[in-house]
């Protein structure tokens, strides 16, 4: 794709030293559908402008703050088609609202906001603006996750009975005060009410709901702070209920020593089961009752159209974290192009996480925190009370 055919995007946050900003920039380039042309990368105006120019952006599009960026980009004839929001959680709401109201599509990191009330307000903004909004639950972009979703939807497992999701890391097993990434994630003013719950628990929750095609109804949660002085949870254990009758458990921990990025999902139906692990993302284990388990491989025979569409290279050449992220950007490009061309987007892009997933994630955090405060009382998610 030539440069003039690529969509143009800007970025808010993700400056020098920000891991996730670099990930987004790499992922956006993989499928050659986006070009970064603008940004407000830091709360410090001078650093923001300098960082933008270090990326090769024009001086007049290396902004000192996101407010100026939203106003000036909206007025340009060559304005950006979308903006990526990769700030700490408490800074998602303001930029997202400003760019949506300017008619610019938004690709926002998860969780949607730091407070449920702000999330509900953004839901109204998205609907009023009619502008595409994408939430980067990147693990839903993996080819074999999309195949698992297709298998559940066509009934390969039968009725879903049990869902087990876990996300284990060890990087916060010790006090990391002074570490930029640890500090904001442990600050309730910037991260919101959840620590590990909001940072990685929301990924495990969304993955479970994405694959089975149903949002949970209620949670019973226990949250823990094992590291002395920590203000937010570093380990959560949650039971889940779905209206269909399925039951589940979710464990998310950032103090699980020996674990790197251990996101895993197991789904048990009345006839068969599925198992997927992020650290071996090309493989999906499928077991039918009374039969030998099968290992399904990305790029292999017999996969669903959803998996084929999310496959870039032949089987045996590993795809991973960046490609999963890239699929979200590819889907976002299709949504934005369809919006600009006033046509329906393709089916694959319609599966990309959006505002409803963001609201559901915030309800999950809110209900889990309230449940834990009530000693694990079963607490419904579906309520409009922030």
* Cβ(191)–Cβ(198) below 8 Å: yes
Confidence at residue 103, expressed as pLDDT on a 0 to 100 scale: 96
**Strand order through the sheet with 272-277:** 294-297, 283-288, 272-277, 262-269, 160-168, 247-253, 235-241, 218-224, 379-380
Percent of the chain having pLDDT more than 90?
Answer: 95
Residue 255: pLDDT over 70: yes
Percent of the chain having pLDDT more than 70?
Answer: 98
Residue 202: pLDDT over 60: yes
- pLDDT tens per residue, range 272-300: 999 999 999 999 999 999 999 999 999 99
CB atoms within 10 A of CB 103: 12
Beta bridge partners of 82: 9, 105
Using CA atoms, how far residue 361 sits from 85, 103, 189, 242, in Å, is: 17, 25, 18, 15
End-to-end CA distance of the chain: 45
* Cβ(163)–Cβ(275) below 8 Å: no
CATH number for the region 141-315+360-380 comes to: 3.30.360.10
Q: pLDDT band for position 3 (50/70/90)?
A: low
d(C-alpha 331, C-alpha 309), whole Å = 10
Residue 384: pLDDT over 80: no
Q: pLDDT band for position 250 (50/70/90)?
A: very high
- pLDDT tens per residue, range 55-106: 999 999 999 999 999 999 999 999 999 999 999 999 999 999 999 999 999 9
d(C-alpha 170, C-alpha 374), whole Å = 27
Radius of gyration of the chain (CA): 20
d(C-alpha 28, C-alpha 14), whole Å = 14
- pLDDT tens per residue, range 216-242: 999 999 999 999 999 999 999 999 999
d(C-alpha 128, C-alpha 269), whole Å = 39
Six-digit token pair at 238?
A: 């949650």
Residue 385: pLDDT over 50: no
Six-digit token pair at 216?
A: 């949970």
Residue with tokens 């921990």: 253
d(C-alpha 315, C-alpha 300), whole Å = 6
**Residue 85 phi, psi (nearest 5):** -105, 115
* Cβ(132)–Cβ(217) below 8 Å: no
Residue 269: pLDDT over 50: yes
* Cβ(11)–Cβ(83) below 8 Å: yes
Instruction: Please state the three-class secondary structure of the chain as a single string.
Output: CCHHHCEEEEEEECCCCCHHHHHHHHHHHHCCCEEEEEEECCCCHHHHHHHHHHCCCCHHHECCCHHHHHHHHHHCCCCCCEEEEECCHHHCHHHHHHHHHCCCEEEECCCCCCCHHHHHHHHHHHHHHCCCEEECCHHHHCHHHHHHHHHHHCCCCCCEEEEEEEEECCCCCCCCCCCHHHHHHCCHHHHCCCCHHHHHHHHHHHHHHHHHCCCCCEEEEEEECCCCCCCCCCEEEEEEECCCCCEEEEEEECCCCCCCCEEEEEEEECCEEEEEECCCCCEEEEEECCCCCEEEECCCCCCCHHHHHCCCCCCCCCCCHHHHHHHHHHHHHHHHHHHHHCCCCCHHHHCCCCHHHHHHHHHHHHHHHHHHHCCCCCEECCCCCC
Residue 386: pLDDT over 50: no
* Cβ(108)–Cβ(92) below 8 Å: yes
Mean pLDDT score of the chain: 95
- pLDDT tens per residue, range 131-162: 999 999 999 999 999 999 999 999 999 999 99
Q: How far is CA 324 from the centre of its chain?
A: 11
Six-digit token pair at 328?
A: 């979200």
Q: pLDDT band for position 5 (50/70/90)?
A: confident
Q: pLDDT band for position 383 (50/70/90)?
A: low
- pLDDT tens per residue, range 363-373: 999 999 999 99
Confidence at residue 1, expressed as pLDDT on a 0 to 100 scale: 55
> CATH 3.40.50.720 region(s) of the chain?
3-139+329-348
Six-digit token pair at 48?
A: 């923001």
Using CA atoms, how far residue 23 sits from 15, 36, 83, 136, 326, in Å, is: 11, 13, 15, 11, 9
Residue 249: pLDDT over 90: yes
CATH number for the region 3-139+329-348 comes to: 3.40.50.720
> CATH 3.30.360.10 region(s) of the chain?
141-315+360-380
């Amino acid at each position: 794709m030539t440069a003039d055919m690529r969509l143009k995007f800007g970025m808010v946050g993700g400056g020098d030293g920000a891991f996730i900003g670099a990930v987004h920039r790499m992922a956006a380039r993989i499928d050659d559908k986006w070009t970064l042309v603008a940004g407000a990368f830091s709360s410090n105006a001078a650093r923001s402008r300098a960082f933008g120019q270090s990326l090769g952006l024009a001086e007049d599009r290396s902004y000192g703050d996101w407010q100026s960026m939203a106003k000036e980009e909206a007025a340009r004839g060559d304005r950006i088609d979308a903006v990526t929001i990769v700030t700490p959680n408490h800074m998602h709401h303001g930029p997202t609202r400003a760019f949506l109201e300017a008619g610019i599509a938004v690709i926002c990191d998860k969780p949607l906001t730091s407070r449920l009330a702000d999330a509900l307000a953004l839901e109204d903004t998205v609907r009023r603006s009619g502008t595409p909004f994408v939430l980067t639950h990147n693990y839903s972009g993996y080819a074999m996750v999309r195949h698992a979703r297709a298998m559940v939807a066509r009934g390969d497992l039968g009725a879903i009975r049990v869902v087990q999701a876990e996300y284990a890391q060890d990087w916060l097993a010790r006090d990391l005060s002074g570490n930029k990434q640890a500090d904001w994630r442990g600050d309730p003013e910037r991260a919101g009410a959840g620590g590990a719950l909001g940072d990685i628990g929301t990924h495990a929750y969304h993955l479970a709901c994405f694959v089975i095609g149903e949002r949970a109804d209620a949670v019973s949660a226990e949250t823990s702070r094992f590291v002395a002085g920590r203000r937010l949870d570093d380990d959560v254990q949650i039971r889940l209920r779905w209206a269909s009758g399925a039951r589940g458990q979710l464990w998310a921990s950032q103090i699980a020593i020996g674990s790197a990025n251990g996101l895993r999902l197991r789904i048990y139906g009345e006839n068969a089961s599925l198992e997927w692990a992020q650290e071996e993302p090309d493989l999906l284990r499928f077991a039918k009752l009374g039969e030998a388990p099968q290992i399904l491989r990305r790029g292999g025979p017999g996969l669903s159209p959803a998996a084929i569409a999310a496959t870039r290279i032949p089987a045996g050449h590993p795809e991973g974290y960046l490609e999963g992220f890239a699929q979200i950007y590819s889907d976002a490009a299709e949504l934005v192009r369809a919006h600009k061309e006033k046509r329906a987007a393709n089916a694959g892009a319609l599966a990309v996480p959006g505002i409803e997933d963001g609201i559901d994630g915030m309800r999950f955090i809110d209900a889990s925190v309230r449940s834990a405060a009530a000693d694990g009382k079963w607490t419904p998610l579906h309520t409009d009370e922030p």
